[in-house]
Amino acid sequence: MFNAGGRRFSVVGIPPLGCLPLIRNALLAGDCALFFNDIAISFNNKIKTALATFAKVLGLDVKVVYADIYEVIQDAVHNPSKYGFVEASRGCCGTGLQEFGATCRGQPTCSDPIKYVFFDAVHPTERMYSFMANTIVTRDLY
């Protein structure tokens, strides 16, 4: 991308994996599974280090931004009402505990997805993505 003229790069980190409904349900965890969150934190830290090296190697005319989604998702899971959500422990599709992606096809969905942090057992709702994007733009890009 750099050789094609790219000078601005953004890399999005990974969310708190232990807070995903799929993981919480699989482990029968009432709260976020800290082991998986620690893995996500470690991975995100390695990405940040690699991006700093990447920026130094490419020079001053390159802007590299790490977009942190970990904290905003974790905060929404622990404080859903702060964001106007009602449900943060399950998704809107099917049972909300194990279905994700293609396995949601043909499954019933909740009547009001804007009240949910997660659409399925892995992916945030459109409304949560909006909070994530606003956080990235206001905190990480400027």
Structure-derived torsion over alpha carbons of residues 126, 99, 21, 86, reported in degrees to the nearest 10: 50
pLDDT tens-place string over residues 118-129: 999 999 999 999
Half-sphere exposure of 11 (CA within 13 A, CB side): 17
Q: Which has the closest alpha carbon to 63: 140, 125, 121, 122?
A: 140
In this predicted structure, which of 11-15, 41-45, 117-121, 138-142 has the lowest mean pLDDT?
138-142
- Match 């009402």 to its residue by tokens: 81
pTM (2 d.p.): 0.88
Domain boundaries, the chain: 8-140
Local structure of residue 124 (DSSP, 8 states): B
CATH level 2 (architecture), domain 8-140 = 3-Layer(aba) Sandwich (3.40)
Higher pLDDT, 59 or 22: 22
pLDDT of residue 24: 94
Mean of the per-residue pLDDT values of the chain: 92
Range 53-69 average pLDDT: 86
